[in-house]
Structure 1
Amino acid sequence: MSDTVSIPQPPWEGDALNQPFVKEKVKATAAKLFAKIASEYSYGTRIEAERELAGELNVTRTTIRQALEFLESYGIVARRPNSGTFVTFRRTAAAQDARSAVTHLLDVSTIAETASPFEMSVICSILEPEMVRLATLNLSARELAVLRKLLEEIEGIVADAERFAHLEKQFLMTIAEGTHIPLFVTMYGIVNEVRRQPHWCATRIQTLSPERILEGQKKLRSLYKALASRDIEGAVEFMKLLIASTQEDMIYSP
C-alpha cells in the first residue's frame, strides 16, 4: 500500500456527454474503486477478486463487475480472462511529463538534422512492433474509439498527402500512448517529433501518391482490426508490413 496521496478526479467527471450508461449505484461503486486504485495500487498490479471487493464495499458482485467494466472503458483497469483484473491507470501528470520530456530535455531539431533514413528505419523496427504488442494488451475502449475516428478520417482521403501524413502520425502516436507506459511514450515521442521536422515531412509527402495512400489506408485498417480484436501476433505482423512499406518509400524517395 502506498503512502497517503491526493486522489485525482475520476476521468468521467468531465465527460458527461460520452459516459457509458450505467446506474448511479454502479457509478458510485466505480468512484470508490477508482479512489482505492489511485491511492493503493501501482500500475500493472492485480486487484482483489470481485467477491472480496463486493464484501469490502457492501455491494453485489454484479455491481462490482459492472463497475469494473465502466472503469475498463476509461483505461483504468484491464481484465484478463482466467488471470484477474489489473491496474492500467497512471496519473495524468506522469503521462504529460512523459510527452513533454522530449522538448524539455532534448534538442529534437538537432537530432532530426543528423538522423538518416537508415537510422529511423532501425529505430522504428525496434520500437513499433513492441509498441503494438503492448497496445493490444492495454488499449482502453475509449482509446480504440479515438483510433477508429482517426482511421475514418484517414480513409476519407484520396490525394491529400499532407493530411494523410499528419493523421498517420496521430494514429501511431495514439497507439504509443495506448501502451500506458510513459517511458515508452517518451521514446516514441522522439520519433514522432523527428517526423514533424519540415524536411522529414516533405520527404514523406513526396512518396504519397493516391495509390500509396490507398495502400496505406488498407494497412492501417488491418492494423486497427487486429488491435480491436486483441490479436497480438496479427497486430505485430501488420505493423511490420507498414514499417517495411514506409522504409521502402523513404529510402527510395526522389
Structure 2
Amino acid sequence: MKTCRKPESAKKGCMELSAVKTDNVPLSEKVSAQIIKYIKENRMQKGDRLPNEKKLMEQLNVSRTTIREAMRILSSRSIVVIRQGSGTYISNFPGVTEDPLGLQFKYDKEKVLMDLLELRYLMEPVIASCSAQRASKEEAREIQRLASKVSECIKSGVDHAEQDVEFHCKIAQSTGNDVLNVLFPEIVNGIRMFTTLLGDRIIKGVVLDHERIAQAIIDGDAEGAYNAMLV
C-alpha cells in the first residue's frame, strides 16, 4: 500500500492491496486473505501496525463492516491484535491460537499434565545445553536474574509459578530457535500446574536447579546446563 508506514524490516516498498472481487468465497474471507498476503509481502513483524480502516476500505473497495469482519477473522487466528483507539497490530505469535496443541479437547486433564511434564523433561536438558552455547551475555545475565527471582519467591513463601515459567521460557528463547520459541511456552505452562499440584514437596530442589542451570549458562557450560536440568 503506497501510503502506509513501511516496517523497518521490509526489503521492498509498500505494495498495493489489489481490489477484492466477489465470488463464492465470503467477502470477509477474501479480504482477510489479501491482508495476510500484504503482511507477508511486506515482511511485517510482531508489533507492526496495519493501515487503518479507511485506507483499507479505499484500497480494497469494500465497506467498513467487511473490513471489521476480516479483522475479526485474523484476530481469531491470532494473526493480529485489535487495540481500541490505537489500531490493529501484528500479534506477538502470528497464527498461533490460544490452544495450538488442542489440549482443551483432551478430557483426561491429569494425563495431559503428566504428558506435558514428560515432554518438558525430554526437551529441557537439550534446550539448556543449547542456551549455554548460544545465549548472549545479556541473555545469560537475564536468565541468572530470573533464577534469583524464583529463589527469592520460594524462600519468602511467595507463589513462584509466573517467575518459573518466565525463567524457562527465557532459556528457550535464548537458543534462537524460532519454532521452539513458539511451542515451548505452551509446554512449559505445565510447570505452573505442576507447582500448584505438588507445592512444598519440590521447593528445595527447585531452588537448587534454577541456580545451577543459570550458572552453567553464564559459564557457557553446555554439559553442566544439560545435567543441571536433569536433576
TM-score normalised by structure 1 residue count: 0.49
Change (3 A) 1:6 1:166: closer
Can you give the 5+ residue segments of structure 1 that lack an aligned partner in the other structure? 9-37, 40-90, 242-254
8 Å CA contact 1:173–1:188 kept in 2: the answer is yes
Aligned to 1:191: 187
Task: For residues 3-45 of structure 1, give each alpha carbon's deviation from its aligned partner in whole angstroms, at most 9, with x where no partner exists.
Answer: xx9644xxxxxxxxxxxxxxxxxxxxxxxxxxxxx97xxxxxx
Aligned to 1:208: 199
Matched to 2:199, the amino acid is: L
Change (3 A) 1:138 1:111: farther
Matched to 2:173, the amino acid is: E
May I ask how many residue pairs the two structures share in their alignment? 149
Matched, 1:179 2:171: no
Aligned to 1:119: 115
Task: For residues 118-163 of structure 1, give each alpha carbon's deviation from its aligned partner in whole angstroms, at most 9, with x where no partner exists.
Answer: 42233123211221122112212222222122122222222535x2
Change (3 A) 1:127 1:192: same
Structure number, greater radius of gyration: 2
How far, CA to CA, are the matches of 1:222 and 1:156 in structure 2?
Answer: 15
8 Å CA contact 2:165–2:189 kept in 1: the answer is no
Matched, 1:160 2:150: no
Partner SS for 1:180: coil
Correspondence for 1:109 among 97, 104, 114: 104
More helix by share: 1
8 Å CA contact 1:111–1:194 kept in 2: the answer is no
CA RMSD of aligned residues (A): 3.2
Instruction: Map 1:50-129 onto structure 2 (within 5 A).
Output: 93=46, 96-97=92-93, 101-103=96-98, 105-111=100-106, 114=109, 116=111, 117-129=113-125
Aligned to 1:229: 219
Matched to 2:117, the amino acid is: S
8 Å CA contact 1:127–1:188 kept in 2: the answer is no
TM superposition shift of 1:194 = 4.3
Matched, 1:238 2:228: yes
How far, CA to CA, are the matches of 1:212 and 1:226 in structure 2?
Answer: 21
Partner SS for 2:98: helix
Task: For residues 213-242 of structure 1, give each alpha carbon's deviation from its aligned partner in whole angstroms, at most 9, with x where no partner exists.
Answer: 23311111011110111100110001111x
Aligned to 2:15: none
How far, CA to CA, are the matches of 1:111 and 1:185 in structure 2?
Answer: 23
